[in-house]
Amino acid sequence: MSLLDVRQLRKRFGGLVVTRDVSITLGKGDRVALIGPNGAGKTTFVNLVTGHVRPDGGTVLLDGKDVTRASPTARVRAGLVRSFQVTRLFSEMTPEEHIALAMLQRLGRSRRIFADFRSMPDVVDEADRILSLFNLSGIARVPVGAIAYGQQRLLEVALVMALKPKVLLLDEPAAGVPSADIALIERALAQLPADLAVLMIDHDMDFVFRFARKVIVLAAGGVIFDGTPQAVAADARVRQAYLGSYADDRGTA
């Protein structure tokens, strides 16, 4: 049973076809990477799947239910959550408040007017557990605007985890992170629940190849490769469309 089933998704902007009959399936525990050169249509694909852009054709099934016409927030509530390439956090709020707010939303308590999450033991306990999992306990009550960028990226992953999604779209989780801190992000991603289906969009090849068990390559709006990380570098079409010199570097190294 696949958690995310994208079938024949199509989108054109005027005369330009940006998504051409793309089909992807993700099952429990899948770790799939979506790569492709600039302009391949990765961002549009993410926007189609999350509901920010209406497709011209095709269907998106989430855990067996058709969500092709559902609003972005309805998809999130159904378990399809995304992270952002550029950190989107509340700069005046603390990491603890971020996690608590995500949990309150998940638990259906975010509309409460006369309540305080600090007097809800279940929320306080889980927020504390998630923050310590990502080594953020020490700065749990510091406004996010005052913490380091690498830690903000970690919080982004922690926040997504607090929403307990079924399917997670990670949009360049390591974007802008100094290379010394990439290991931290990788460790954070290793903490994601094993049965979660993850689709990662990224440029950093080494990073992608360590994380993914399956790679999908998008070029000019269509899927040109779908297979293992080992096979992708050997594929002639992928070499031509995207990897180019990188694949040769790997070969000589």
Partner 1 sequence: MTTDATVKARNAASLGRVRRSAAVDATAVVIILAAAALLYVLFPGSLALFTRMVAIMMLALSLDLVTGFAGIATLGHAALFGAGAYAAGILASKFGFTDPFAMLGVGAVAGALAGIVSSVVILRGRGLGQLVLSIAIVQLAHEAANKLSAWTGGSDGLSGIAPAPIFGLYRFDLWGRTAFILAVALLVVVFVLLRVIIRSPFGMLCRGIKQDPVRVRAMGAPVYGTLVKLYAIAGAVAGLGGALSAVATKVVGLDSLSFTLSAEALVMLVLGGVGKLFGALIGTFVFIWFEHLVAAINPFHWLTIVGVMLIVVVLFEPRGLTGAAEALWTRARGGRR
Please count the CA atoms within 13 angstroms of the CA of 91 that sit on its side-chain side.
5
206 is an interface residue for partner 1 by CB under 8 A: no
Among 13, 90, 149, 246, binds partner 1 (CB under 8 A): 90
CA–CA distance, 251 with 253 (Å, rounded to integer): 6
| Count of residues in contact with partner 1, rule CB under 8 A | 37
- Residue 243's identity, in one-letter code, is L
Helix (H, G, I), strand (E, B) or coil at 193: coil
Instruction: Give the binding range for partner 1 (CB under 8 A) out of 32-40, 41-49, 73-81, 187-195.
Output: 73-81
CA–CA distance, 183 with 205 (Å, rounded to integer): 14
101 is an interface residue for partner 1 by CB under 8 A: yes
- The smaller minimum CB distance to partner 1, of residues 76 and 174, is found at 76
Q: How far is the CB of 136 from partner 1 (least distance, A)?
A: 15
Q: How far is the CB of 227 from partner 1 (least distance, A)?
A: 31
Contact 216, 35 (CB under 8 A): yes
Q: How far is the CB of 151 from partner 1 (least distance, A)?
A: 17
Structure tokens at 245: 């010199």
Among 54, 65, 69, 88, binds partner 1 (CB under 8 A): 88
Among 91, 191, 228, 240, binds partner 1 (CB under 8 A): 91
Contact 42, 219 (CB under 8 A): no
Task: Look at the block and give the residue holding tokens 């096979």.
Answer: 231
CA–CA distance, 157 with 82 (Å, rounded to integer): 10
CA–CA distance, 253 with 88 (Å, rounded to integer): 37
Contact 8, 58 (CB under 8 A): yes
Instruction: Give the binding range for partner 1 (CB under 8 A) out of 4-12, 19-27, 71-79, 146-154.
Output: 71-79
CA–CA distance, 65 with 240 (Å, rounded to integer): 37
Instruction: Give the binding range for partner 1 (CB under 8 A) out of 26-34, 114-122, 177-185, 213-221.
Output: 114-122
82 is an interface residue for partner 1 by CB under 8 A: yes
163 is an interface residue for partner 1 by CB under 8 A: yes
42 is an interface residue for partner 1 by CB under 8 A: no
Judged by the rule CB under 8 A, the positions of this chain that interact with partner 1 are 72-73, 76-77, 81-82, 84, 88-93, 97, 100-102, 104-106, 109-119, 121, 124-125, 128, 159, 163
